[in-house]
Amino acid sequence: MKKILVTGAGGFIGGHLIKELLNREYKIRATDIKPLDDWYQCFDEVENISLDMALKDNCFKAAEGMDDVINMACNMGGMGFIENNKALCMLSVLVNTHMLMACKYFNIKRYFFSSSACAYNTDLQKNSKITGLKESDAYPAMPEDGYGWEKLFGERMCRHFFEDYGLDVKVARYHNIYGPNGTYDGGREKAPAALCRKIINSNLNNEKIIDVWGNGEQTRSFLYIDDCVDATLKLFDSEHHGPINIGSEEQVSINEMIEKIEKISNNQVKKNYQLDKPQGVMGRNSDNTLIRSLLNWEPKFTLYQGLEKTYNWILSDMKKKHNQ
């Protein structure tokens, strides 16, 4: 039975990954900086530990005795969080640095680093009708300030640990992952969850207006969590190292995504555009040519299908909390 360490295990993607790894009969050690009660998903059959992985000693403690490491730990959130917490996001470089050192020391077989589409050159993302971003488009470097620079630097660290020490690194650039069992309020939520929450609230409170950051014309592609887990483990089990896009090519504007959620909720709303709020780049989309070629992978869920599942989960959770 392979032993695997998953850091950031109390987070959104980390929890879903562990669920699938359990199905594959891994023996799992899971760490997250949050107290166990605050983990989005927590599994009894896993060795769950609350640890700050920015600290070198904790990385060495967690990696000892493991075969593989999936590093999902970092400070991140939606655009509102990363634009207002650049220094905090940059400090996540300590997690990757110390984890790589621990992997080298303990001769870890495989190491996965979760990077982000925020690593891409922002000069290429000023048009809402952007074509898909290819992996080579990260250079010349001009990533999202703070969070994007941390991710790009982390990718380079992984590359050099592969070149200098032979560590089998896997690097994925995630494009806006969403789905159930994640955050939908509090400031770290991303657009799909935030908009689902706002439209649910407008319905529950009989208010037909929601706040929208920006003019709603900014575009993105969004990948449902089940597709993300599938692609992540395909890359992890492959001979390839990346960086490689894990995302969808179904590009939509924020206004178009609101229309989809309105249809799901059977609730139409007016939009209060807030032009002073963080908006990020004007357009971002994934080019999946490389992952399609190397891993024969395609997303299974459309945005509408994923939003429907996400909306229904958030609605159920909000009603549950309201009745407590």
> Active-site positions?
147
- DSSP 8-class letter at 149: H
Nearest-angstrom CA–CA distance, 295 and 259: 33
Nearest-angstrom CA–CA distance, 89 and 74: 7
Residue among 300, 315, 283 at smallest CA distance from 137? 283
Residue among 195, 172, 174, 313 at smallest CA distance from 248? 174
> What ranges make up the beta strands (E) of 72-174?
110-116, 168-174
Contact 23, 166 (CB under 8 A): no
**Residue length, the chain?**
324
* Local structure of 138: helix, strand or coil: helix
> What ranges make up the beta strands (E) of 58-126?
68-71, 110-116
> Which H/E stretch holds residue 202?
helix 191-204
Tokens of 64: 């000892």
